[in-house]
């Protein structure tokens, strides 16, 4: 498929994990992709691998919580391409801790990292997209934004805020031809998540938590993101798409087997 032939895309947090997989998926489908990441060497290496294959992927080193870095990134894209068609807001982070024990500064950091960074990037994308007849924004939320996880209150609250932000922005910019949707992954075998699991016991617990009996792959989330960003989703906006292998499709309560 070449659904993004000659379209210009920006992926924040594009240097690894689901961001890296999304950069690859968009580039494979013909997009001109800018990958923005704080890890400069990592994102430069990523761009180099794609360039070697004849694809148009460009690296931008920057902090998504810094307005100056975002201004520089969007100015570069406008100067070099004159447009932006797709923004995928993947950059963010997580932190465990109970509501009663996390410090105020921890909450602030999580919200800056996840919510404010997405708001800042999306506002700049809207300004650029509105000059060229529209575009698509995909926001990285999580199943943690639609359900509660004890010990992860700050992260879950931030991800829930992003779902509501998606709904609000979709209505504000729909008349300008800009669609806004959120992706809500479940457990994914990204390096960051796998490194956080202490042993195989926890890996098996996550595998068993899904109806499919396994964790998802970053490439599978990238495929869902590509759908939301493409014209295949032309009438989809203000939605949040859950990609969790069925994890949230059950109540989680104990089940008494029915009589056969």
Which sequence positions are flagged as catalytic? 155
Angle, helices 17-28 vs 218-229, to 10°: value is 50
CA 124, chain centre distance (Å): 17
Q: Which of 168, 64, 61 is nearest to 111 (CA)?
A: 64
Across the chain, the runs of DSSP E, i.e. the strands, are 8-12, 32-37, 57-61, 86-89, 135-140, 178-185, 240-243
Contact 167, 238 (CB under 8 A): yes
31 neighbors 55 (Cβ within 8 angstroms): no
Residues 6+ apart with CB under 8 A from 134: 176, 177, 178, 179
Running DSSP on this structure, what letter comes out for residue 188? B
Q: From CA 254, how far away is CA 83, in angstroms rounded? A: 52
């Amino acid at each position: 498929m070449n659904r993004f032939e000659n379209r210009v895309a920006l992926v924040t947090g594009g240097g690894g994990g689901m961001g890296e997989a999304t950069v690859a998926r968009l580039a494979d489908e013909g997009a001109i992709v800018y990958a923005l990441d704080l890890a400069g060497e990592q994102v430069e290496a990523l761009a180099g691998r794609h360039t070697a294959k004849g694809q148009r992927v460009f690296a931008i080193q920057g902090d998504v919580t810094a307005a100056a870095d975002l201004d520089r990134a969007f100015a570069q894209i406008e100067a070099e391409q004159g447009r932006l068609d797709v923004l995928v807001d993947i950059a963010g982070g997580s932190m465990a801790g109970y509501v009663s024990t996390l410090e105020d500064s921890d909450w602030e950091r999580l919200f800056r990292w996840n919510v404010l960074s997405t708001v800042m990037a999306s506002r700049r994308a809207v300004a650029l997209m509105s000059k060229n007849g529209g575009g698509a924004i995909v926001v990285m939320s999580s199943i943690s934004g639609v359900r509660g996880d004890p010990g992860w209150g700050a992260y879950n609250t931030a991800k829930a805020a992003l779902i509501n932000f998606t709904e609000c922005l979709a209505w504000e910019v729909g008349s300008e031809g800009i669609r806004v949707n959120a992706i809500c992954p479940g457990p994914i075998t990204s390096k960051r998540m796998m490194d956080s699991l202490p042993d195989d016991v926890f890996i098996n617990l996550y595998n068993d938590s899904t109806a499919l009996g396994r964790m998802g792959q970053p490439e599978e989330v990238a495929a869902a993101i590509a759908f939301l960003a493409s014209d295949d989703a032309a009438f989809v906006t203000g939605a949040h798409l859950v990609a969790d292998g069925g994890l949230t499709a059950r109540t989680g309560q104990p089940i008494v087997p029915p009589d056969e």
